[in-house]
C-alpha cells in the first residue's frame, strides 16, 4: 500500500468516527495510562470506555465484540474491588510476578477461551478473521485478569494482543483503531517496565 493510500484511508476513518467512539478511545487510553501508574482510576475510566463500546458494537451488529466488552466490564469491577481490598495486615494487594502455577493457568485459559470463542465466531457470526479475533480476545481476557490481581505479566499479554491487533484492524480498513492499538502497545511496554521497577523498589 502506498503512503498516500494509507493517509487517504486514515482520513476517511477519522471523518467517519463518531463523538461517542472518540470518547471511548480517549477513556480507553486513559485507562491504560492509569494502569501503568498503578492508579485506581484505571477502572472507572476503563469501565466507561467498555460500556460505550458495548453500545457501539450492539448498534454495529458486532455481537461477539459486545459480549467481550461485557466480560471486560465484569473483570474491571472485580479489579476495582481487588485493588482497594485490604488484607488482614491492613495492606492492599501488591504488584508481584506470576507463579509457575499462575503461568500454567493463564496459558490454559487462553487455549480454552480461544477454542470456545473461535467456535462461536465461525459458527454463529460472519467474521472474516475468526481465529485471529478469537486469539487476541483470549489474550486480552487473561491480560485483564492478571491486571486485576496485579501481576506484572499482564503487560506481556497486552503487548502480544496489541501487536496482533494492529495489522488485523489495518487489514479491515480500520486505520484509526489500528493506530490506537499502536499507542496501546507503547503504553503497555512502558507499563511493564514501570511495574517491574515498582517491584524492584519494594
Find, among 29, 30, 11, 3, the residue nearest to 184 by Cα: 29
The stretch 24-35 carries a mean pLDDT of: 87
Residue pLDDT, tens place only, 138-181: 999 999 899 889 999 999 999 999 999 888 777 766 666 778 78
Cα 10 → chain centroid: 22
Beta-carbon neighbour count of residue 202 at 10 Å?
8
Predicted local confidence at residue 94, as pLDDT: 85
The stretch 121-133 carries a mean pLDDT of: 84
Asked whether the predicted pLDDT for residue 1 surpasses 60, the reply is no
Asked whether the predicted pLDDT for residue 48 surpasses 90, the reply is yes
Q: Do the beta carbons of residue 74 and residue 80 sit within 8 Å?
A: no
Q: What are phi and psi of 98, to 5 degrees?
A: -80, 140
Q: Does residue 43 come out as left (phi exceeding 0), alpha (psi in the -120 to 50 range) or beta?
A: alpha
Residue pLDDT, tens place only, 101-118: 999 999 999 999 999 999
The residues, any chain, with a CB within 8 Å of residue 122's CB and separated by 6 or more, are: 130
Residues 117-133: b if buried by 16+ CB within 10 A, e if exposed:
bbebbeeeeebeebebb
Q: Can you tell me the distance from the alpha carbon of 74 to that of 60, in angstroms, rounded to the nearest whole number? A: 22
How much of the chain exceeds pLDDT 90, in percent? 31
Asked whether the predicted pLDDT for residue 76 surpasses 70, the reply is yes
Predicted local confidence at residue 20, as pLDDT: 81
Q: Can you tell me the distance from the alpha carbon of 155 to that of 177, in angstroms, rounded to the nearest whole number? A: 20
Beta-carbon neighbour count of residue 107 at 10 Å?
11
Residues 44-72: b if buried by 16+ CB within 10 A, e if exposed:
ebbbbbbbbbbebbeeeebebbbbbbebb
Asked whether the predicted pLDDT for residue 136 surpasses 60, the reply is yes
Q: Can you tell me the distance from the alpha carbon of 116 to that of 130, in angstroms, rounded to the nearest whole number? A: 11
Place 89 in a pLDDT band, splitting at 50, 70 and 90.
low
The residues, any chain, with a CB within 8 Å of residue 39's CB and separated by 6 or more, are: none
Predicted local confidence at residue 93, as pLDDT: 72
Predicted local confidence at residue 56, as pLDDT: 76
Mean pLDDT of the chain, nearest integer: 83
Find, among 169, 197, 196, the residue nearest to 97 by Cα: 196
Among 55-59, 129-133, 193-197, which stretch is predicted with the lowest mean pLDDT? 55-59
Asked whether the predicted pLDDT for residue 91 surpasses 90, the reply is no
Predicted local confidence at residue 198, as pLDDT: 83
Residue tagged 477454542 (cell numbers): 115
Amino acid at each position: 500500500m502506498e503512503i498516500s493510500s494509507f493517509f487517504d484511508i486514515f482520513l476517511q476513518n477519522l471523518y467517519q468516527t463518531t463523538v461517542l467512539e472518540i470518547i471511548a478511545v480517549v477513556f480507553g487510553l486513559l485507562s491504560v495510562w492509569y494502569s501503568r501508574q498503578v492508579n485506581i482510576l484505571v477502572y472507572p475510566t476503563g469501565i466507561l470506555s467498555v460500556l460505550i463500546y458495548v453500545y457501539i458494537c450492539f448498534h454495529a451488529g458486532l455481537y461477539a465484540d459486545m459480549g467481550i466488552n461485557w466480560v471486560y466490564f465484569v473483570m474491571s469491577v472485580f479489579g476495582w474491588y481487588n485493588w482497594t481490598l485490604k488484607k488482614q495486615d491492613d495492606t492492599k494487594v501488591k504488584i508481584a510476578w506470576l507463579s509457575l502455577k499462575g503461568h500454567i493457568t493463564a496459558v490454559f485459559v487462553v487455549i480454552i477461551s480461544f477454542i470456545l470463542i473461535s467456535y462461536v465466531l465461525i459458527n454463529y457470526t460472519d467474521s472474516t478473521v475468526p481465529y485471529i479475533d478469537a486469539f487476541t480476545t483470549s489474550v486480552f481476557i487473561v491480560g485483564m485478569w492478571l491486571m486485576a490481581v496485579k501481576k506484572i505479566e499482564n503487560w506481556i499479554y497486552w503487548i502480544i494482543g496489541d501487536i496482533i491487533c494492529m495489522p488485523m484492524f489495518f487489514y479491515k480498513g480500520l486505520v484509526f483503531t489500528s493506530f490506537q492499538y499502536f499507542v496501546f502497545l507503547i503504553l503497555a511496554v512502558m507499563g511493564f517496565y514501570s511495574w517491574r521497577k515498582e517491584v524492584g523498589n519494594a
